[in-house]
Every structure is written in C-alpha cells, then in structure tokens.
Structure 1
C-alpha cells in the first residue's frame, strides 16, 4: 500500500475531511481509525503520525467545526448593521449549521468538555459567546438594547438560539420548519432586549 497522501504532506487534512464526512453522514459511531486510514489509502501507522488516538482526531474535528461555525457567525454579523438584523442573521447561521451538521455539533460540544481537550479547542468553543457578548454590548452602547448585565442578556440569546437548534436536530418541532421556529424565538428575544415588539 502506498502512502501517497503522507508523502505529499496533506494526509492530516485528508484524514480530517474524510472523518468529518463519515461523522456528518453516518454519525460518530461509524468512525473507525483503521477504516479511515484505509479509506484515504495509507497505513494505520501513517495516520497515527498525525493523530495519536481517537481523542486527538475528534479534538481536531471539533476545532474544524468551531472554526467553520464561528466564521459563519462572524460573516452573518458583518452582513447587517442593526442589532435586530445582526441577531437574526447570527441566529439563523448558528441554527442552520446545527441542522446541516447535527452529529458534528454534538461532537463539538462533547469534545470541548473532554479532560484532554486542546487549548485551541477550548478557546474556539468560547468564541461564539464572545461574539454574542460583543453584539449585545455594542447594541447597548448604541441605545438599541435596554441597559442591563451584558453577560446575562447574552446568555439568554445563546440559550434561546441553541434551544431551537437542539429541538430542530432532535426532530422535536412537531412539523414546524426550523426557520419559522428560529424567527419566532429570535423575535421574542429581541422584544425582551429592546422593549419593541417585532412587526
């Protein structure tokens, strides 16, 4: 068996992409390190040079997941200029990521709590809350959000949006489309933070 990918220096990325696709399509239980190595055409030993064990691989996948999700949130926020627009865009981006990648999102949050979670994963896992804190703080400074504890208000935002994501990925919305549930929830949060009912 050749180790083409390893010698070309792109084996780590190839393993990550294949592992992501496996989990995304068939769930975490479908992931096997030995099968993963076979799928990309290398020996198990070659793959172990990049990921010593399953925990290391899952940590790297979680890092990739948080990076992609955080990038989507940042892009959503910068696409709007008002707090209402930013909150809607960011909320839909988060829930959309969850709906598109439910097994990956589940892995992301489990991996960040693992005792051996990397410092990079720990930092990236907090980034989405940092975005929400900044969003609420800046809106409060502009007078778009009522005064109050910014971290507490941000927690309400995150809890509401993540709650819709969890209901959607667990198929608990009883036929309601996730986007409709998201819009209704975000409107309710906006009303509580701004004192203005959604149109």
Structure 2
C-alpha cells in the first residue's frame, strides 16, 4: 500500500505518531534500518522536535510538533516495556547528520549510547569504510517478519507480500554483515559526539 505523506499528515503530525502505537505494542521482533535519521523510538525530545519541525515546514502541515513529539516519546515505551526485541542498523552518516543544534545532537548521540545497553536492543552501525555488499537504502522497518514499512520522500509504503518482506529481510541480513557492534559501535558514536563540538 502506497500512501502519500500529504494525505497521512494533512491534519498534522501527532495523529500519525499515535496511529502506530497498536502495531508497535503488538510487534515482538523489529528489524530496523535507517540511512538518514536516528530511528524514531531512539530519538530524544530535542532531536524529534528539530526533525518534526523541519518535516512540518517542508510539507506545510499544521504545526502540532510539540504534541507530535510527546506522542513519539509515548510510543517509544516499547523499547523498555513488554516482550519486544530490536535489531537496529544505522549508517554511520546518521551519527554525523546535524539535526538540531550541537547540544541537541550531542544529547541524541549520548542517548544512543545508553539505549544500546538495553538487553532488548542490538544496535549495529555501518561504518563509512565498510566494504559494501548493498548500497545505502531507504529507511525501513520490518514487523515480526510479516510486514514492512518503507519511508520515501513523498510516501509511506506498506508491504505485506511474503516475497517483498523476504527481500527486505535479505537486504537487512546483508547490511547486518558489514555493521559493527558493541565497543566498535560505541567508538563511532563517541567520535561523532566529539565531532559535534
């Protein structure tokens, strides 16, 4: 299913954040790949506010950013509550793209260091220097190996065809092989914090 963002966000951004709560709460296994921003459920209020403000301005949606940020933070309870597991991959560029002020970005990166210590989370970073088997892709989330949400500039795409889901799982598997974890991932995040200056 292909739905344009202008349709999904015509009344603002809060409703869209809230609409995902049931799926997030029902999902046991998340596979998340982000090539452009920190995944929503790992975002700090400052980072989410800067990001959602830029989205609202770009798309010309009603300004309900503060309510949308609150809804996004409320939705993020799934990383700490319930029986959920998160396999998350981000490109190193995500750590370097400046969303918000230097203080906002440093706080966001510091928060990433803390969430990666949670037992339900596996966070891999794909270094700039990794030999690529797959090119950087659009951001996507796989829910319980049955459904994929893909984010493009103009639309949200929801895939449920088993062959399509399998394709995203294959891509995730290829990207997972070139990611670094643990101390190596922490060192990339720490280097990005140092570079924020």
Q: What TM-score does the superposition give when structure 2 sets the normalisation length?
A: 0.29
**Bigger share in strand:** 2
Larger gyration radius, structure 1 or structure 2: 1
Q: What TM-score does the superposition give when structure 1 sets the normalisation length?
A: 0.29
